Amino acid sequence: MHVSEAPTIPLLTPYKMGQFHLSHRVVLAPMARNRSYNSVPQPHAISYYSQRTTKGGLLITESTGVSDTAQGYLETPGIWTKKQIEAWKPIVDAVHAKGGIFFCQIWHAGRVSNPGFQPYGQDPISSTDKPIKGSQYASPRRLGTEEIPQIVNDFRIAARNAIEAGFDGVEIHGAHGFLIDQFLKDHVNDRTDQYGGSLENRCRFPLEIVEAVANEIGADRVGIRLSPFADYMDSGDSNPTALGLYLAESLNKYRILYCHMVEPRMKSVKEKHETSETLLPMRMAFNGTFISAGGYHKEDGNKAVEENRTDLVAYGRWFLANPDLTKRFELNAPLNNYSRATFYTQDPVIGYTDYPLLEDTFRS
Ligand SMILES: Cc1cc2nc3c(=O)[nH]c(=O)nc-3n(C[C@H](O)[C@H](O)[C@H](O)COP(=O)(O)O)c2cc1C
């Protein structure tokens, strides 16, 4: 049978996300690749992202620092200097040349950092002064109430810079125990001002960022990533369903484009563990596009779309190891395995742009 006559699977059906006409539902999940030397995106990222681009496919960048206090890992990119903006441009152009839709994940690590990553060797900032339990990270400095507008402004400017670099929009990184999550989660946030305590207060800083970014670049170009169920970096919450639901409902006010949530089964960094908890209440409550991520294979991704439990599915590790993941889904082709050992290494090729395409496999 000719390929174009094959029955279409739910993941490969088109979807209109606001003004963006997506040709399928398979999204490149944001993944730090630690190959942006001195916080500047490098030319090798052109091949990495364009290898993973399909016409009408949505890609989200690796976490990208909003300011010089935002970094916490080796060689992650930023988007606060002119040089960084210029360095992103050819990467964005390459994705656009192949018809992709490209969002920049804007990020602040908060206390998941240490003085070595800070511009003056100072302590990293957070909602709290408690260090991450059982980790090597230093004790953070609790942000003063009056300092918070400056951090909101850093996200606003980073979003403006992303648009200047040519990105179609931004994804605010509110997941995985980083700064925004350090405000959201009651196991971390121990503030007594209007940014701590009640659910409403803990969500105030994240929602101020959403509002500022939406006002700056237009709500139709803004997404957010959240992981209410995850407890990475000692960032758990006592009632994740209530937190996720409150956020989904509050986000409706700002009419942002999408809400990207990480599945409850990705509670810990290590591996997935099945649970009866679900993203369904948040999916039902949120009016925009819903993206689910975490532990998806082809079959359960198809099922989630078919059952309308999500609009789009973001794939991390399988997409990292299979640049032509969509084509492999279409052809029911086997997948390359991923190599964990090279997820976060600094080589510009190995474990980055050297995963074989289907054609390479057939050729050899
Ligand atoms: C190498 C690597 C880097 C990651 N970096 C980020 C990141 O920068 N931002 C983010 O929100 N999630 C990040 N994640 C999480 C992924 O986006 C995704 O949620 C996770 O891998 C689970 O999905 P999967 O089972 O499809 O891989 C990263 C995951 C991996 C494997």
Query: What is the pTM assigned to this prediction?
Result: 0.97
315 - beta bridge partners? 28
207 C-alpha to ligand 1 centroid (Å):
23
345/351 Cα distance (integer angstroms) = 8
**Is the CB of 317 inside a 6 Å radius of any atom of ligand 1?**
yes
Residue 314 Cα to ligand 1 midpoint, Å, equals: 9
pLDDT tens digit string along 22-35? Answer: 999 999 999 999 99
Instruction: Find the 28 Cα to ligand 1 centroid distance in Å.
Output: 10
174 Cβ below 6 A of ligand 1: no
pLDDT digits (tens, 9 = 90+) for 71-83: 999 999 999 999 9
Q: How far apart are CA 95 and CA 50, in angstroms?
A: 5
- For the cut 80, the answer to whether the pLDDT of residue 7 exceeds it is no
- Supply the pLDDT for residue 362: 65
User: Rounded distance, CA 27 to CA 301, Å?
Assistant: 11
SS3 labels along 288-333: CEEEEECCCCHHHHHHHHHCCCCCEEEECHHHHHCCCHHHHHHHCC
Cα(29) to ligand 1 centroid in Å equals 6
Tell whether the model's pLDDT for residue 293 goes beyond 70: yes
User: How much is the pLDDT for 359?
Assistant: 86
Instruction: Please state the rounded mean pLDDT for residues 324-352.
Output: 98
Provide the pLDDT for residue 269: 66
Q: Supply φ then ψ for residue 227, to 5 degrees.
A: -140, 70
Residue 295 Cα distances to 121, 128, 264, 289, angstroms: 37, 31, 10, 20
C-beta separation of 80 from 68 below 8 A: yes
Q: How confident is the model at residue 1 (pLDDT cuts 50, 70, 90)?
A: very low
For ligand 1, is residue 294 a contact (CB within 6 Å)?
A: yes
Tens-place pLDDT, residues 39-53: 999 999 999 999 999
Using DSSP's 3-state secondary structure scheme, residue 169 falls into: strand
> 71 by DSSP, 3-state: which?
coil
At residue 364 the predicted structure's pLDDT band, cuts being 50, 70 and 90, is low
pLDDT at 355 over 70: yes
DSSP letter string, 217-283:
H-GGGEEEEE-TT--GGG---S-HHHHHHHHHHHHHTTT-SEEEEE-GGG-SSS-----S--SHHHH
- Report how far apart the first and last C-alpha atoms of the chain are (Å, whole number): 24
Q: What is the mean pLDDT of residues 103-116?
A: 98
Whether 77 is in the pocket of ligand 1, judged by its Cβ within 6 Å, is no
Q: 29 CB less than 6 Å from ligand 1?
A: yes
* pLDDT for the residue 6: 60
Alpha carbon of residue 173 to chain centroid: 6
* Span of 166-180, 267-281, 298-312 with lowest mean pLDDT: 267-281
